[in-house]
Amino acid sequence: MSVRDTDSSVTVVRRWLMAPFRIAYGIYALVLFLAMALCVLLATLGLPGVARRRAAARAGARAFFWAAGMPLTVKSLDRVPQGQCVVVSNHVSYIDGVVYTAVLPARFGFVIKREMNSVPLIGLFLRRLAHEFVERFNRHRGASDARRVLRTAINGSSLVFFPEGTFTRTPGLLKFHSGAFMTAARAGCPVVPAIVRGTRTTLSPLSHWPRPGRIVVEFLTPLTTTASKSDAGAVELRDRAREAILRSLGEPDLVETKPAPASEAA
């Protein structure tokens, strides 16, 4: 038997021995998440004011990651302006939104696919947090939602977008949609590119079983545009933000490839 065959056999045996522990941890993490989510939902139903509800969601998210053995490391949070801004991030896993809920101040709302509004309890929870829903498949409804999101931004709200609109089984960065950048350009606020790492391991697109592991969020230098027209400014912000994220992320550029999507998550 060759050294390679021996190493392969050892790896198989190790995986077989570790399987019960991984399953036990996965059950623990899922039960913990559901319990924390229920507690936060009840809090949001009882608390007055969006700020208090979002603060409760932030506390619940941070408690979950601590108890689940998924320590959060945040780099360069000071780059996030104290005033209004739009945060844009790569999208890796279903848990990314929970990560940014834990990391960012309660003044941030999220822009989420409209399908989530109809999911029992989750839709209610997201509405209580005053997050914004956008239609992706109906052009007329999508345009109406985009105008509503813009009004929210013009009124001074800070928002979080995942401009890829989905995530894939293949590591790398997909094409960016323009909604986040048009919102920032028309509202006249900076765009803050951000990177999340580790969630591809802690909740892989290839598995529904969580795993322990460190999650890192890094904020990059805020971007502004001097373009006289908002359309041109949006294109500039989109291209510069994507370039900055791609450069710091260290993963492949998937624009020229066609990876199979792992989900339709927003």
Q: Write down the pLDDT at residue 264.
A: 44
Query: Rounded to two decimals, what is the model's pTM?
Result: 0.86
Q: How confident is the model at residue 147 (pLDDT cuts 50, 70, 90)?
A: confident
Q: Which residues of 30-65 are buried (b: 16+ CB within 10 A; e: fewer)?
A: eebbeebbeebbebbeeeeebeebbbbbbbbbbebb
244 belongs to a structural domain: yes
Residue 255 inside a domain? The answer is no
Could you tell me the two tokens for 49? 């004011």
Task: Convert the pLDDT of each residue in 210-242 to its tens digit.
Answer: 999 999 999 999 999 888 788 899 999 999 999
Burial (CB count within 10 angstroms: exposed 0-12, middle 13-18, buried 19+), residue 24: exposed
Is residue 129 in some structural domain?
A: yes
For the residues 61-80, what does the mean pLDDT come to? 96
User: Above 50 in pLDDT, residue 111?
Assistant: yes
pLDDT at 260: 54
| Residue tagged 């007329």 (tokens) | 140
**Residue 53: inside a domain:** no
Domain tally, the chain = 1
| 55 occurs within a structural domain | no
pLDDT for 207: 76
**Residue 233, CA atoms < 13 Å, CB-side half-sphere:** 20
- Which of the two residues, 131 and 145, has the higher pLDDT score? 131
Residue 194 is assigned to a structural domain of this protein: yes
The enclosing domain of 121 has a CATH number of: 3.40.1130.10
Residue-level pLDDT at 10: 41
Q: Which residues partner with 158 through β-bridges?
A: 108
Query: Which pLDDT score, from 0 to 100, does residue 150 have?
Result: 79
Q: Residue 255: its pLDDT value, please?
A: 86
Across the range 47-63, mean pLDDT stands at: 95
Task: Tell me which residue range forms the domain holding 82.
Answer: 70-249
Of 117, 102, 113, the closest CA to residue 70 belongs to: 102
CA distance 131 to 215: 24
* Whole-number pLDDT of residue 118: 81
Rounded to 5°, the CA angle 84-114-141 comes to: 90
